[in-house]
Structure 1
Amino acid sequence: MFEIIIASIIFISTYIFIISEKIDRTAISFLGASFLLLFGILTEEEALHFIDFNTIGLLVGMMIIVNILKTTGLFQYIAIKSAKISKGDPLKIMIIFCFITAILSAFLDNVTTVLLIAPVTLVITDTLKLNPIPFLVPQILSSNIGGTATLIGDPPNIMIGSAANIGFLDFILNTGPISLIILIITVYLFKFMYKNQLIVDEDVKKKIFEFDEKLALKDKNLLIKCLSILSLVVIGLMTHQYVGFESSSVALIGASIMMVISKANVEEVLHSIEWTTIFFFMFLFILVGGLEKVGVINHIAEIIVSFASDNLFLASIVLIWTAAILSSFLDNIPFVATMIPLIERISLLSDINVMPLWWALSLGACLGGNGSLIGASANVIVAGILKKNNHELSFIEYFKVGFPLMILSIILSTIYLMIFYI
C-alpha cells in the first residue's frame, strides 16, 4: 500500500508541474523518475525496462533524417514553387500550403514541418503585404491533422504504434481516410473564414514571380541522395512488420546511411536532435512504469474492463472525447503515455477487441491538439515565430477558430469510429 501511495503522489505531482509549465517539463519528469528510484519503487534495471526504446529510436532516426534533408533547401523550394503555381493568389496559396503542410507532417513530423514552412510563408505574406495569421493558423491545424494520418506524423502515434504493434500501413488505412476528410472540410471552411482578408492587387501578385525557387536548392546531388534514402525508409516503415524489423531499426539504419553519404558534420547533426524531447519521453515511460509495477494501472484497467465489457461503444466514445478535450489544453504525450498500459492491460484481462480504443486514443490525442494555442508543440512554435516577426496571435484569437474546428473534427472521427469499428 505504501508503494502505491508514493508512486501515485510522485506521478500526480509531476503531472501537475508539467501542466503548470512553471518548471521545465523534462527537468520535472527527470526529478519524478529519480524519486521512484530513491524510494525503491523501481530498480535501475526495471526503470530501463519500462522505457520504450523503439519509440525513442524512431524519434531519433527521423530527427536525423529530417535535419540533414532540410539543409538541401527542398522545403523552401516546394513553398516558393507552390506560391508561383498559385500565381500569387493569396487564397490559392493558403489552400496549397495547407495541403503541403499536411502531407509533410504525415511523413516527417508536424513540429519540423511548421519550422520549415512558417518562415517561407512569412516572406511570401510580407511580399503580398498581408497579415500572415490567416495563412499560419490554417497551417497549424493542417500540420496536426496531417500528423494524425501516419505512424510517424505525431509522437502519440509513434508511442501507440510501438506499444500496440500497429504498423505504418495500419495507420494510413485506419486514421488516414478520416484525416483526409477532416483536412478537406477544414480547408474548405477556412476558405470562407478568411476570404475577405486574402485580397491583393494584381501588381502585388506579380512580385511572387521575383522569387527564384532554384536558388533555394543548395546541393542537388545531396538532395537526390537524401530523397533516395528517405524513400527507402518510408518503404521500410510500410513493410517492417512483414520482414521482422522494428520501425526504430528502419529509421536508425536510414539515418546512419544518410549521415555517411551526406558527409554531414556529425556533431552538428547530433546537436540538432531535440534531446530534451527524447529524455522527456524516457522519463515519462519510467513514471508510468512506476504506476504499472505497483498495480495502479492494473486496478484502473479492471474497472474499465467491467465497464467496457458491457459497452465498448461508450468506452471508445468517452476515450476519444476525453483525449481530445484534455489534449486541447494539456500536453498529449503524458496522457497517451498513461493510457497505453491501461489499454494493454484491458486486452490481457478480457476478450475485448481493443483496436477501437487504440484508434480512439490516436484520433482524440492528435486532433485534440488543434483545440487551443497550447494544445500541441506546433501551435506554440508558430505563435513564437509570429511574435518574433511582430505579429501577435493571442490565445483567444486562436481559440475562436481552433476549438470549434477541433470539435468538428472529433464529431467526424466519432462517426467514423461508429461506422467502421464499433
Structure 2
Amino acid sequence: MTAAPILAIAVFLIAFGLIVSERVSKVTVVLAAAAAMAVLGLIPGTGVFYDEHAGIDWNVVFLLFGMMVVVGVVKQTGLFDYLGIQAAKMSRGRPYRLMVLLMVITGIASPLIDNVTVVMLIAPVTIVVARRLGISPIPYLIAEILAANIGGASTLIGDPPNIIIGTRAGLTFVDFLVHMAPIVGIVFVGFVLLTRLMFRREFEYHPERAAEVMALDARAAIVDARLLVRSLVVLGLMIGGFFLHAFVHIEPAIVAMLGAGAMLLVARGVATEAFREVEWRTLVFFMGLFVMVAGLVHTGVIGAIGHWAADAVGDDWFLAASSVLWGSAVFGALFDNIPYVATMAPIVETVVAGAPPEIGQAVWWAFALGADFSGNGTAIAASANVVTIGIAARAGYRISFWRFTKYGIVTVVLTTAAAWLYIWLRYFL
C-alpha cells in the first residue's frame, strides 16, 4: 500500500473519532478533514466539485436546500402547530400511541416522496407536539429517523442510495416494489413493535398537559390561511414531481429548487424568515463529509475493499449476496451510505457480471437492503439522520452521536438479519 491510501485512512479515522467524541463541532471537523485531504494531495483540485460519484453530491445538497426553504415558508402559516395539536389529540398524549402515529406517517410517506423530505416535514411537527405535551421530542425524532430509513428502502425514490442502484443496475420503480417492499413491510411492523421496548424508559406522560392540549382548537393555530392554501398547492406539485422523477428523469434537486422558487413567489414578504430556517451548518457538514469520503475514493481505499470482497466470494453467489449485504450494513454506516453506494455500485456490477440474471438481481437487492438499512447505524450514516439532528439542535434539543447510535446499531443488526433471511429464502433456497 502506498502513502496516499494510508494518509487518507488516517485523516478519515481521526475525523471520525473527533465526530464521535463530540468535543469539537462536527462541521469544524469535516471542514478540517476536507482541507487536509486537499493539502495532502489526496483529492483532485477540481474533480471533487464536479464528480458526483467521488466528490460533492450537489443533487443531495440542493435537494436539502430547496426543501429547507419550502419548510421555512410552510412554517410561517402555522401548519406545523395545527398538525402538532391534531397529532397530540389523536394520541391523547399517550407516548407510545404518539410515537406509533408519527412513525407510521413517516414510514408511509417515505417511499412515496423520499425519506429526507419526509423528516424535514415531520420533525417540526414532532417538536411542536412535544412542547405542547411538556415532553422531550428526542426519542420520537430518533424513532422517525429509523422509520424513514426503513420505509424509504421500499421504492426507487424513497432513499437516495436506491436511485444510484436503480440507475446502475437498470432496475425500475416496479422492480423495487416487487422485491424490496415485502421485506421492508415486514421489518417495519417488527420495528414499530420493537420501539415500545427500545424507548420504554424514555416515555413521559403528563395528564394535565395532555388535558390542556385536548381542549385546544387546532384551527386557531393557522395564522395565514391564504398562504397555507398556496403553499400546499406548491407542495402538492412538488410531491408529484418527486414521485414522477423516476419516469421523467428529472433530478429531485431540480424539483426541490423549482418548488423553493415557487414558494418564495407565492409567499412574498416571508423570504427572510424562510432563509432563516435553512440549516446552513447541515449543508456545510454534508459538503465537508462528501469531500472527506472522496479522499478514500480517489486513493482507492473503498475500491480496494470492494475488490477484496469480490475476490473472496468467487462464484459462491449466496456468499456474495451475504457479503454485500452485511458489508454494506457496516461500511455504509461508517462512510455515509450515499458516497458508499456510489463507489461500490460499479464493483457490484463487476461481481454480478458472470452470474445468471436472477442471481445477479438478488445480489443487487442484497446491496440495496444493506446500504439502506446501514443508514440507521450512526448519526452520520444517512442524510435523514443529519438533517433531523440539525433541526433538533436548532430547536434546542441535542441528539448526541452515541444516544442515536445505541438505538441505531440494534436496529441495523436486527433489520439486516431479517433481510439476510429474506434473501436466502426468496432467491437461494
SS of match in other structure, 1:72: coil
- AA aligned to 2:12 is T
**1:303 aligned counterpart, secondary structure:** helix
Which residue number in structure 1 is paired with residue 415 of structure 2? 409
> Residues 70 and 193 of structure 1: is their aligned pair in 2 closer, same or farther, counting only changes over 3 Å?
same
Q: Relative to 1, partners in 2 of residues 1:55 and 1:359: Cα closer, same or farther, differing over 3 Å?
A: farther
Cα contact 1:302–1:346 (8 A) shared by 2: no
Asked if residue 210 in structure 1 is aligned to residue 215 in structure 2, the reply is: yes
Tell me the equivalent position of 2:193: 188
For the residues of structure 2 that align with 1:168 and 1:65, how far apart are their CA atoms?
A: 26
Runs of 5+ unmatched residues, structure 1: none
- Comparing 289-298 with 308-317, greater Cα deviation is found at 289-298
SS in 2 for 1:44: coil
Q: Which residue of 2 aligns with 1:49?
A: 50
Render the CA deviation track for 1:230-276: whole Å, top value 9, x for unaligned: 22222222222332423322222222222222225444434433333
Sort the Cα spacing of 1:39 and 1:355 in 2 relative to 1 into closer, same or farther, 3 A. Answer: farther
Q: Distance in 2 between matches of 1:43 and 1:26?
A: 22
Secondary structure (helix, strand or coil) at the match of 2:76 reads helix
Give 1:117's aligned amino acid.
V
Structure 1 residues 322 and 133, CA, compared in 2 at 3 Å: closer, same or farther? same
The alignment partner of 2:322 has SS state of helix
- How far residue 211 of structure 1 moved from its aligned partner, in angstroms, is 1.8
Counterparts in 2 of 1:167 and 1:332: CA distance versus 1, 3 Å:
farther
Query: What does residue 346 of structure 2 align with?
Result: 344
CA distance 1:123–1:272, change in 2 (3 Å): closer
Q: Percent identity?
A: 28
Asked whether the 8 Å contact 2:164–2:341 carries over to 1, the reply is: no
| Aligned partner of residue 46 in structure 2, secondary structure | helix
Q: Flag the 1:160–1:272 CA change in 2: closer, same or farther, 3 A.
A: farther
CA RMSD of aligned residues (A): 4.4
For 2:147 and 2:352, the matched residues in 1 are separated by 37
Partner Cα distance (2:206, 2:46) in 1: 66
* Structure 1 residues 325 and 289: CA distance shift in structure 2, 3 A: closer
Partner of 1:10: 8
CA apart distance, 1:184: 2.0
Q: Offset of 1:214 from its aligned partner?
A: 0.8
Query: CA separation of 1:262/1:337 partners in 2, compared to 1, >3 Å: closer, same or farther?
Result: same
1:210 offset after TM fit, Å?
0.9
Give the 3-state SS of the residue equivalent to 1:211 in structure 2: coil
What is the alpha-carbon distance in structure 1 between the residues aligned to residue 395 and residue 309 of structure 2? 43
My pick for the range that moved more, 286-295 or 96-105, is 286-295
Distance 1:364 1:410 in 2: 6
- The residue type equivalent to 1:224 in the other structure is V
The alignment partner of 1:276 has SS state of helix
CA contact (8 A) 1:17 1:23 kept: no
Check the 8 A contact 2:81/2:128 in 1, yes or no. yes
CA contact (8 A) 1:114 1:382 kept: no
Alpha-carbon distance change, 402 to 11 in structure 1, aligned in 2, over 3 angstroms = closer
Matches within 5 A, 1:81-230: 81-87=86-92, 91-103=96-108, 107=113, 109=116, 111-113=119-121, 115-126=123-134, 138-139=143-144, 141-149=146-154, 175-190=180-195, 206-230=211-235
Structure 2: how far apart are the matches of 1:285 and 1:132? Answer: 29
Partner of 2:315: 310
Q: Conserved in 1, the CA contact under 8 Å of 2:72 and 2:275?
A: no
Deviations for 1:366-418, whole angstroms, at most 9, x for unmatched residues?
434545778744785698699859xx99968984x665444332222223333
| Deviations, residues 188-237 of structure 1 (Å, cap 9, x unaligned) | 34457778998989988654421221122222222222222222222222
Which residue of 2 is the match for residue 78 of structure 1? 83
Inter-partner Cα distance in structure 2 for 1:205 and 1:292:
51
Name the aligned partner's letter for residue 142 of structure 1: A
Q: CA deviation at 1:17?
A: 1.3
Change (3 A) 1:204 1:248: closer
Work out whether residues 125 and 132 of structure 1, in 8 Å CA contact, stay in contact via their aligned partners in 2: no
More displaced stretch, 372-381 vs 33-42: 372-381
Structure 2 unaligned spans of 5+ = none
1:235 aligns with 2:235: no
CA separation of 1:47/1:9 partners in 2, compared to 1, >3 Å: closer, same or farther?
same
TM-score, scaled relative to structure 1: 0.75
Equivalent residue number for residue 29 of structure 1: 30
- Shift of the alpha carbon at 1:420? 4.8
State whether residues 150 and 171 of structure 1, in contact with CA within 8 Å, keep that contact through their aligned partners in structure 2. Answer: yes
Bigger shift: residues 180-189 or 341-350: 341-350
Distance 1:68 1:151 in 2: 28
Q: Normalising by structure 2, what TM-score?
A: 0.74
Deviates most, 148-157 or 318-327: 148-157
Give the match's secondary structure for 2:223.
coil
